[in-house]
Amino acid sequence: MNTVPILGIPVAQTTKSEFVPHVLNELLHTEHAITIVTANPEIIMLAKENHNYERLLKASSYVVADGIGVVIGAKMLGTPIAERIPGYELVHEFMNTAAPGHNRFFFYGAKPGVAQEAAMKAKELYPQIDVVGVCDGYGNDGDGDEVAAKAAVSEPDFIFVATGAPKQEEWIALHKKKFPHTVMMGVGGSFDVLSG
């Protein structure tokens, strides 16, 4: 997939309607985690200050432009991006299009009870999905090893990580080797919105 460099971060040159089937197709064949960063301007700026974060953004499978600021920035730099792809819309789109055999979701993050509520709402909206595990984003051990172990046992096709940037991308980078057949995406405040 073509990318456009925004302050050194390669941002996918794609649209939501192209990106979702592309990832679903890749999931059928992949032998390694498909990691997705939905980048707003704060994330791009944070990567400028934090070299470890910059490195892990560059090592992600895809960085997509979540945030009109990234789209405007790309245009100003003379490398326009097709469209904005909000993370929250990707959350819905992946659940909406999840096919049998690839419909297992793990929700990690947000305050106690919120991921559970979000999972119930998701199941109401998309009865064909299975939410195979949930975990809140507080009070876990430093590296989140226990959450990763719990998630691995549930064999998810998708892990949505809602612990905010940069935490969510750091957890994904640290544990992605344990999930060779999984889409892992940082989703910020999505569970708060979905549960509400």
Q: Largest Cα–Cα distance in the chain? A: 46
Q: Residue 39 in contact with residue 63, Cβ under 8 Å?
A: yes
Give the binding site for ligand UDP (CB under 6 A): 109-111, 137-138, 162-165, 167, 188-189, 191-192
**Contact call for residues 169 and 37 (beta carbons, < 8 A):** yes
Q: What is the DSSP letter of 174?
A: H
- Residue 164 CB, shortest distance to ligand UDP, in Å, is 4
| Shorter beta-carbon distance to ligand UDP: residue 11 or 110 | 110
Q: HEC string of 107-133?
A: EEECCCCHHHHHHHHHHHHCCCCEEEE
Q: Which is nearer to ligand UDP, 10 or 189 (CB)?
A: 189
Q: How far is the CB of 157 from ligand UDP (least distance, A)?
A: 22
Contact 33, 182 (CB under 8 A): yes
Q: How far is the CB of 184 from ligand UDP (least distance, A)?
A: 15
If the CB atoms of residues 99 and 138 are measured against ligand UDP, the closer one turns out to be: 138
Q: Based on CB atoms, which residue is closest to ligand UDP, 123 or 167?
A: 167
